[in-house]
Amino acid sequence: MQYQTQSETRDVSEEIRSALSSVRNEFNRLSEQSGNFVSFEEEAGFVYQNILSTMNYQQGAMAYTPVQTILSSFLCIARTGLSSDPKKQLCHLKSVYDNASNQFITEFDFNYRGYLQLIARSKVIKVITADVIYQNDTFEFNGTRELVTHKVKALSPSARGDFAGGYCTSELINDAIVTTVMSPEEINQIEHNAKMYEGSAWNSVFIDELRRKTLIRRHWKTLSTLVDSLKENTILSTVNEVHQNNDILTNNGNMCESSDSLDIQHRY
């Protein structure tokens, strides 16, 4: 759906501005509860500008998604204590297609730097590594509680053969290891679904960076189920709640990136 007239555009922008203002108290309460203060005024401004910038999209514009999904996603900023300032690249709001209601909705999502900041806050993870695998690499998966063996024979992806999946490994402060792997079929399906949306970063040259983000997202979803000491960790619980909420909203849980952090290092 597109709104063409100036009056319709003004109505939408005013509705969004008013809606954001209506949750000021709840936003501030959640921000204080998170222990990592984020400013309502600043975050409302970032989100408002981000949403309005999508008004010319042919499909899936956040500006025309249900207001309640915008507010729910906006409050996730306060819950996580991560700023949506585009310069910081910690988190963002995006539009995804909801199969249940047959419409686009707004959803909160973490950028890679946001995950890394939360890792630092958790105080239970010492090092995290995420990387993609190509057919000509040397790779061995040694189990979910062991480090992988991964050797790269060439730096250029074009010389490494076909994409062959990826992995994410955490080293905890007690020196325990947790490893998650994903097959190329799993990641390619996510990539295929995401590319259908206008403005998707998956349509850029930064595909491997987004694959690594997908890997770390899957890794976070398994960490708390594998490691008993993490089950009561507040940071991990908040992340898992956001993931579960997003999976419910989109019915099938597929990631549909409409924007993302593209300044990501190769190893973490």
CB–CB of 151/160 below 8 Å? no
Report yes or no on 259 lying in a domain. no
Q: Which pLDDT score, from 0 to 100, does residue 163 have? A: 94
Is there a single domain that holds both residue 78 and residue 127? no
Same domain membership, residue 88 and residue 140: no
Q: Would residue 265 count as lying in a domain?
A: no
Same domain, 189 and 162: yes
In a shared domain, residues 81 and 122: no
106 and 137: one domain?
A: no
- Separation of alpha carbons 45 and 13, rounded Å: 12
**pLDDT of the residue at 113:** 80
122 shares a domain with 101: no
Residue 128 and residue 101 in one domain: no
In a domain, 258, yes or no: no
Q: Are 238 and 79 in contact (CB under 8 A)?
A: yes
Residue 131 has what pLDDT? 93
Residue 95 phi, psi dihedral angles, 5° rounding: -100, 140
Q: What is the pLDDT of residue 148?
A: 97
* Residue 137: Cβ-neighbour burial (10 angstroms; 0-12, 13-18, 19+): middle
Same domain, 155 and 170: yes
Determine the pLDDT at residue 124: 81
pLDDT of residue 254: 39
Distance of alpha carbon 268 from alpha carbon 264, whole angstroms: 9
pLDDT along the chain (268 residues), means of 10: 45 89 96 92 96 76 90 94 93 87 89 81 85 96 95 90 95 91 94 68 69 86 64 65 61 37 28
In a domain, 139, yes or no: yes
Last residue of a domain, one of 110, 136, 162: 110
Residue identified by tokens 């694959």 is: 211
Give residue 53's domain range: 6-110
State the total domains in the chain: 2
Q: Based on the domain organization, do 145 and 86 belong to the same domain?
A: no
Cα separation of 188 and 14, whole Å? Answer: 39
The pTM score is 0.69
Residue 213 lies in a domain: yes
Among residues 110, 136, 160, which one ends one of the domains? 110
Q: How far apart are CA 97 and CA 8, in angstroms?
A: 23
Within-domain flag for 183: yes
Asked whether residue 226 falls in the same domain as residue 134, the answer is yes
In a domain, 262, yes or no: no
Residues 102 and 119 in one domain: no
Instruction: Look at residue 265 in the predicted model and tell me its pLDDT.
Output: 28
For position 125, what pLDDT does the model report? 85
Same domain, 66 and 144: no
256 is a domain residue:
no
